[in-house]
A and B are shown apart, each in its own frame.
Chain A
C-alpha cells in the first residue's frame, strides 16, 4: 500500500505561514490533482511531500511510515519538474539512467530498465540524443522516463505540462493518463489548469491561500462546489455569479436582482430568509437562451458572440454582473445575435452565502 497522508501539515517561512495545517489522504494507486491559483501553496505542499521543503509542523506519512525527517531519496518518490530538469550534458539514455546510476545499480539492469522505459514512452529512437535535440513533448517524456525508471511508490508531478503548447499539452495529458493506468502508481499532480485537473484526476484537491477548499472527484466538485471559489475555479468558462437577495415568490424563494427575479430551489436555508444577500451560481452550460422574454426568464444584454464551431460562447451582462452562456450552435446559429435572456432549471442553480461564499446547506446533490 503506497498511500500518502498529510496530517495538519504546516509550512512557514520565518513568521509567514504559507500552508495552514492541511489534511489530505491519498489512497494507493490514486491520481490526485492539487489545483489552485498561483501562490495557493500547492507546489509547496508537493515539495514537502518530495522532501525538498522542510515540514514546519504536522506529519507526513508515506506507505504507513512518517517521513517528516526522512531524506528525499529514502521516501521512494520520483518527481517530474515543470522545466523537465534534464541534464543537458547527458543524452536521453543517460538522463533516464541517472537515478539508477546514483543508486549504483548494475550496468545490465540499468540498460534493461532504460530500454523498457524508452519503449513505453516511445523514446527508443532518441536514446542517444541530447535534450537540446528534442522537442518539448519529447523532453517531457524523458522527464517522465526518469521518474518511472525507478519504479517509485509515489509519483509527483509539478506542473509538468505548463511549458508545452496547447496541442501538445492535450496529447501529453492523455499519455500521462494512459501511463498511470499502466503503472498503477500513486500519483500527486500539481497544476493551475483546471482542465488538466478535471481530465486527469481521480480526486481533485482545490487549494486557496494555503488551505484546502474542497476535496472530491472531478464531477463532485464541478456539480456540487463547496463554495463560490471552487465554483468559480472549476469549469471553462467558470460558473456565472449573480449577486442577489432572497425574496418570497408565489411558489417558493426567488432571487431578486437588478429588478428581475429568478426562481430558486426550495432550500431549508432559504426559508424565511427574505432579504438575505446571496450569490446565485449558474454554469454557462445550464443557461438556455431565449430571444424573447418568457415566464421565469432573466433578461441580459448581449455584448459578444464567440463561435467555436459546434458551440458558441455568449458574453452578456446581467445588471452589473458578467454572464457567459455556452450553447450549441446546431440549429441555433441564426438566433445567437438576438439572444436577450435565458432560463435555467432551478435544481441546477447553486446558491452561495454572499458573506462567506459557502454553498448553502440542503442543496440537492446533482449527480
Chain B
C-alpha cells in the first residue's frame, strides 16, 4: 500500500502540509521567543537600558533637528513650521569661500594629524614594550599619559605661554642662538604644526594604552621561539609585535578615519585668532561662528550634516578596504 492509498492520513501532499503546520504550531513564534529571552535575561537588558536611553536622547532625538539643513529655519516657526528649501543651504555653503577654506583646513589638519599623530602612539607603545627597567617604564608612562588628563584650556594656556614672544621657552631658546623672536600664534604658517604637535603631545601617550594592551596579549612563547631562532630585539618588534598588533592598528585607523573631520574644536577655538583663520579655521569653528554666533542655524546644520556624511563615507570606505585586504574590520 502506498502513502496515497492511505486514507487515514490523506494524500502524501496533505500529510506533508499538515506536518509542516503542526511543526510551526509547536515552534514558538519569533515574538514569543524574544519575550522569553527578555524575561530570562532581563537583568542584562536593565544594565543596557541607560546606554540605550543616552543614545536615544542625545544622538537620535537631535536627528529630528537635522531637517533644518533643508529648511529656511526660523526660531519663531520652529523646526516643523519652517518652509523647505531643498539643497539651497548646501549650494550656499559651496559658494562660500570661508566654508571652502574651512573644509580645506579641516582636511589638511586631519591629514597632518593622521600622518604624524596616528603612528606616534604605536611607536610609543613599541618603545615602552622594549623598556626593561620597570621603574623607568612606569615613570615614563605616567609622564606621557598626564597631558590627556589636563583640561584643553590649560593645555592652550601652556602652549600660548610656551610660544609667547616675550617669556616663552621656545623664543628664549631661540634667543640663545641669536634668532629673533617669532610670535608663532599670530603666524598662519605656524598654526598647523603647533596645533598638530600639541594634539600629539596631549593624546599620544594615552592612546598608546590600547596598543600596549594589544602587545600584552601576544604570547611570550612567540618571542622565545624567535630568540632561539636568533632574532634580534628589532627583528622581533618588526616581525612579531607589529604584525600581531596590526588588527588593533587597523581598527584604530578606521575609527580615526571616521573621526577625521572632527578636528579638536575647543583647541582651535582657544588657539586661533583672525590672523590665523587662513590656516586655522575648520568646519566645526565655521559652524560655531555661523550657527551660534551668526544665528544661521540652518546653514550651520547643513555644514554639520555634510561633515557627518563625509565621515560616514570615509569610515565605510576604510572598513571595506580593510576587510578586503587584511581580513580585519569594524563590522
Check if A51 is an interface residue, CB within 8 A of chain B. Answer: yes
CB contacts (< 8 Å) of B230 on chain A: these are: 72-74, 99, 102-103
CA of A278 to CA of B219 in the docked complex: distance in angstroms?
48
Check if B221 is an interface residue, CB within 8 A of chain A. Answer: yes
Check if A85 is an interface residue, CB within 8 A of chain B. Answer: yes
CB contacts (< 8 Å) of A98 on chain B: these are: 226, 229, 239
Contact with A along B217-247 (1 / 0, CB 8 A): 0010110111111110001000110011010
Q: A89-B243, A102-B235 are in contact. Are A83 and B221 (CB under 8 A)?
A: yes
Which residues of A come within 8 Å of B, CB atoms?
A: 50-52, 72-74, 77-79, 81-83, 85, 87-90, 98-99, 102-103, 146, 150
CB contacts (< 8 Å) of B246 on chain A: these are: 89
CA of A200 to CA of B239 in the docked complex: distance in angstroms?
35
Which residues of B come within 8 Å of A, CB atoms?
A: 219, 221-222, 224-231, 235, 239-240, 243-244, 246
Give the distance to chain B from A158, nearest Cβ to Cβ, in Å: 9
Contact indicator B219/A83 (Cβ below 8 Å): yes
Contact indicator A73/B228 (Cβ below 8 Å): yes
Contact indicator A72/B243 (Cβ below 8 Å): no
Contact indicator A89/B244 (Cβ below 8 Å): yes
Contact indicator A52/B224 (Cβ below 8 Å): yes
- The chain B residue with its CB closest to the CB of A90 is B243
Contact indicator A73/B222 (Cβ below 8 Å): no
- The chain A residue with its CB closest to the CB of B231 is A102
Contact indicator A81/B229 (Cβ below 8 Å): no
CA of A103 to CA of B224 in the docked complex: distance in angstroms?
16
Contact indicator B229/A87 (Cβ below 8 Å): no
Contact indicator B228/A72 (Cβ below 8 Å): yes
CA of A82 to CA of B225 in the docked complex: distance in angstroms?
11
CB contacts (< 8 Å) of B235 on chain A: these are: 102
CA of A102 to CA of B223 in the docked complex: distance in angstroms?
13
- The chain B residue with its CB closest to the CB of A80 is B225
Contact indicator A52/B227 (Cβ below 8 Å): yes
Show 6 residue pairs from A and B whose CB-CB distance is below 8 angstroms, ordered by the A residue.
A72-B228, A87-B243, A98-B229, A98-B239, A146-B225, A150-B229
Contact indicator B227/A85 (Cβ below 8 Å): no
For the residues of B in contact with A, the DSSP-based class is helix
CA of A90 to CA of B226 in the docked complex: distance in angstroms?
13
- The chain A residue with its CB closest to the CB of B229 is A99
CB contacts (< 8 Å) of B229 on chain A: these are: 73, 78, 98-99, 102-103, 146, 150
CB contacts (< 8 Å) of B227 on chain A: these are: 51-52, 72-73
Give the distance to chain B from A130, nearest Cβ to Cβ, in Å: 9
CB contacts (< 8 Å) of A83 on chain B: these are: 219, 221
Give the distance to chain B from A182, nearest Cβ to Cβ, in Å: 22
CB contacts (< 8 Å) of A150 on chain B: these are: 229
Contact indicator A81/B225 (Cβ below 8 Å): yes
CA of A99 to CA of B222 in the docked complex: distance in angstroms?
12
CB contacts (< 8 Å) of B225 on chain A: these are: 79, 81, 85, 146
CA of A52 to CA of B239 in the docked complex: distance in angstroms?
19
Please tell me which one of the listed residues A78, A89, A90 contacts residue B228 in the complex, with CB atoms under 8 A apart.
A78
CB contacts (< 8 Å) of A88 on chain B: these are: 244
A-B CB proximity, top 9 nearest: A73-B230, A99-B229, A85-B225, A89-B243, A85-B221, A81-B221, A72-B228, A79-B228, A102-B231
- The chain A residue with its CB closest to the CB of B247 is A89
CA of A99 to CA of B240 in the docked complex: distance in angstroms?
13
CB contacts (< 8 Å) of A73 on chain B: these are: 227-231
CA of A314 to CA of B172 in the docked complex: distance in angstroms?
91
Contact indicator A81/B224 (Cβ below 8 Å): yes
Q: A83-B219, A83-B221 are in contact. Are A102 and B244 (CB under 8 A)?
A: no
- The chain B residue with its CB closest to the CB of A77 is B228
Contact indicator A87/B222 (Cβ below 8 Å): yes
With A78-B228, A87-B222, A98-B239 known, 5 other A-B pairs at CB within 8 A are: A73-B227, A73-B231, A79-B225, A85-B222, A88-B244
Give the distance to chain B from A299, nearest Cβ to Cβ, in Å: 53
- The chain B residue with its CB closest to the CB of A82 is B221
CB contacts (< 8 Å) of A52 on chain B: these are: 224, 227-228
CB contacts (< 8 Å) of B239 on chain A: these are: 87, 98, 102
CA of A90 to CA of B239 in the docked complex: distance in angstroms?
10
CA of A267 to CA of B280 in the docked complex: distance in angstroms?
98
- The chain B residue with its CB closest to the CB of A74 is B230
CA of A339 to CA of B59 in the docked complex: distance in angstroms?
78
Q: Which of B225, B227, B235, B244 has most A Cβ within 10 Å?
A: B225
Please tell me which one of the listed residues B222, B228, B243 contacts residue A50 in the complex, with CB atoms under 8 A apart.
B228
CA of A308 to CA of B235 in the docked complex: distance in angstroms?
53
CB contacts (< 8 Å) of B219 on chain A: these are: 83, 85
